[in-house]
Structure 1
Amino acid sequence: MELVASSAHRLKSPAFDPSGSLFCTCSTTGTLFAVNGASLEAFLETNGGPCGLAFDPTTGDAFLCDGEKQSVQKIDKDPNTGAPVVVDFIHQFEGRSLSGPQRLCFLPNGELLFTDGSALGEASPTHTGGSVYRTVQRRQQLLRLAGGLAGPSGVAVDAQTGFVYVTETPLNRVLRFVPRPEGHYVSSVWHSLQGSLGPVDVTVHPLTGDVYVAKYDVAEASPHGSVVVIGRNGEEKGVITVPTPHISGLAVSPSGEDLFIIVEVDDDSVVSKIYRFPL
């Protein structure tokens, strides 16, 4: 495992744009960073608390989950200056405000998918007000894919099968949604984990379909963190050991050659590190 970069920010949600460049967010300062070698360059100040980031694979447009503003946002261009600006994209469902969008990704058909629930530390197994939403009709409408969830956090899609994976942090499990005709999905508890505070993020290998699940924990329980590798059939294939249990984001490179892992050094510091693990 190789250390790529270190930053005095609470980094989250690594994401690749269509050109293969890596970006990440800081939910405390509201900054969107571009990872350039061993350095991080501030790309945009969102004036919010972005905790999720994804790029449209066809247009390159960037979308953010902002739990602080309770909305999904899009990065657009100022019509006068051409500078990047943040605009509100989705902030309610059926007339009600969103709870706190956490992570997002794109379905193979180009629709947007995102989790909406409480952040880590606020969610609990008995608080089942979380949801997963997806856009339809070229993102003009919003549908609830699932409701009644406890702290849904990470979300990822297997581009080959269309399977959707969602981490339900307080219940320490991963849900799977299998697409069926006419836009319907069949859901189930796909994998239950043991130990840790729960899984906080998930990503899928673009070629093999292997699922990588980040387990978050406290240092008093374990000095190391772990990313569980699970095959499409739900069977564990291995565990990647991480230097700290405070994992805050995962992303597989577009080529499938590397897994990028963001961790926070400890509970008290604001130092984050980005690691690269060859696959």
Structure 2
Amino acid sequence: MWTAPPAVIAPALLSRLPEAQRRLRRSAWADANRGGAPVDSFLEGPCFDAAGNLFCTDIPHGRVFRVSGSQWETVVEYEGWPNGLAAREGELLVADYRHGLLTLDPRSGAMAPLLETVLSEGFRGLNDLILHPDGSVIVTDQGQTGLQDPTGRVWRLHADGRMDRLIGNGPSPNGLVLNRARTHLLVAMTRSCEVWRFALRPDAVVAKANLFFRVPAGTSGPDGMAVDAADRLFVCNPGHGQVWVVDPHGVATHRVDCTGFGRMPTNCAFAPDGRTLVITESQSGSLLAAEIPPG
């Protein structure tokens, strides 16, 4: 801990979920995750497609939005809890807590299951996903795991349909990213306040998984993450209201302080310019934008 304090980056409001599209009500998701308190939205999964369109999810109300300026278009609304998004060849992949891995046509809103079970066993509850250049999809299977039950999983679905269980002992695996060389996977473990790192092999063998970065302890640990062109890691930290900027050696150099808007930055993604970090701030139901200094 003998490092300089992280420099502060101030984000700006990019867009706010319109009042007409907020739904303040109690739900099964709120009962399980917010102590029964009604919520009008809980934004997650920011994602840009190849055309530069920005999408995000609203977990408790089963919505996926396309956002342009102040316009929030509902791409789909369904009986699910969508969390992470990834764009692939004209479609979106959705990590859904209730239904597994889904595909979504952003033009028509049509959805279809891609992976609902592994050997007939259901998931604990998918959270986030990333795409690998080899065509595989890597997902976190978080459920309600934590320090009391460190059995969260990380799965890899190969293009030919094979499945690898890369991690089976995670205390709440959440966001995940690849380093720039695509040689290592980093996974946010929410309940232990850690980011794990391990080599990603072509087979399912995982060895020497290590703790790469630890966020301050508090009411919530690391959530969604992103990586920039300089191989810096960006770690959303709900509870503290920060996005930590971590160099390739695991040292925090900056922090994006979101507390002027709320304390729940849940996920982030880089805009097509590669410099603007877009953050879902779920307490205020907003999208924030932060200009990141060069690495």
Q: TM-score, normalised on structure 2?
A: 0.81
- The equivalent position to 2:98 in structure 1, one of 60, 68, 72, is 68
Residue 111 of structure 1 corresponds to which residue in structure 2?
A: 136
Partner of 1:212: 234
What does residue 93 of structure 1 align with? 118
CA shift at 1:184, angstroms? 4.3
CA distance in structure 2 between the partners assigned to 1:47 and 1:180 by the alignment: 36
2:44 pairs with 1:12:
yes
| Cα pair distance change 1:96/1:199, threshold 3 Å | same
State which drifts further: 155-164 or 237-246: 155-164
| Structure number with higher strand proportion | 1
RMSD: 1.9
Distance 2:216 2:148 in 1: 18
Where 2:124 maps in the other structure, the secondary structure is coil
Structure 2 unaligned residues grouped into runs of 5+ = 1-10, 23-40
Structure 1 counterpart of 2:244, from 224, 228, 233: 228
Shift of 1:76: 4.5
Counterpart of 1:150 in structure 2 is 171
Aligned-pair identity (%): 23
Alpha-carbon distance between aligned partners in 1 of 2:138 and 2:235, rounded to the nearest angstrom: 18
1:249 corresponds to 2:267: yes
Instruction: Determine helix, strand or coil for the equivalent of 1:274.
Output: strand
CA deviations 1:73-94 (Å, max 9, x no partner) are: 11249xxxx8331111111123
| TM-score, normalization by structure 1 | 0.86
**1:186-210 CA distance string (max 9 Å, x none):** 42221122223211111111x1111
Task: Report if aligned partners of 1:107, 1:162 keep a CA contact under 8 Å in 2.
Answer: no
Task: Find the aligned partners of 2:201 and 2:79 in 1 and give their Cα distance.
Answer: 39
C-alpha distance in 2 between matches for 1:179 and 1:130? 18
**Shift of residue 178, structure 1, vs aligned partner:** 1.6
Partner of 2:214: 192
- Specify the alignment match of 1:268 in structure 2: none
Q: Please give the per-residue CA displacement for 1:132-183, whole angstroms capped at 9, x wherever unaligned.
A: 00112x1512111111111111111224333211100000000112234656
Number of residue pairs the alignment of both structures matches: 256
Structure 2 residue aligned with 1:38: 70
Shift, 1:124, TM fit: 2.7
Runs of 4+ in 1 over 4 A off after TM superposition: 181-185
Q: In the alignment, which of 35, 41, 55 is matched to residue 23 of structure 1?
A: 55
Distance change in 2, residues 1:229/1:67 (3 Å): same
Distance 1:181 1:72 in 2: 22
Residue type at the aligned position of 2:288: Y
Q: Distance in 2 between matches of 1:166 and 1:172?
A: 11
Q: Contact 2:146–2:170 at 8 Å: present in 1 too?
A: no
Pairing partner for 1:129 from 151, 168, 175: 151
Once the two structures are superposed, residues 4-42 of structure 1 have per-residue CA deviations (whole angstroms, 9 ceiling, x without a partner) of 111133211101111121100111111110011122111
SS of the residue corresponding to residue 64 of structure 1 reads: strand
Distance 1:83 1:214 in 2: 31
Shift of 1:262: 1.0
**Residue 32 of structure 1 contacts residue 46 of structure 1 at CA under 8 Å; is this kept in 2?**
no
Tell me how far apart the structure 2 counterparts of residues 155 and 276 of structure 1 sit (CA, whole Å).
20
- Tell me the amino acid that sits aligned with residue 203 of structure 1: A
In the alignment, which residue of structure 2 is the partner of 1:3? Answer: 13
CA 1:228–1:276: 2 relative to 1, 3 Å: same
1:60 deviation in Å? Answer: 3.0
SS in 1 for 2:61: coil
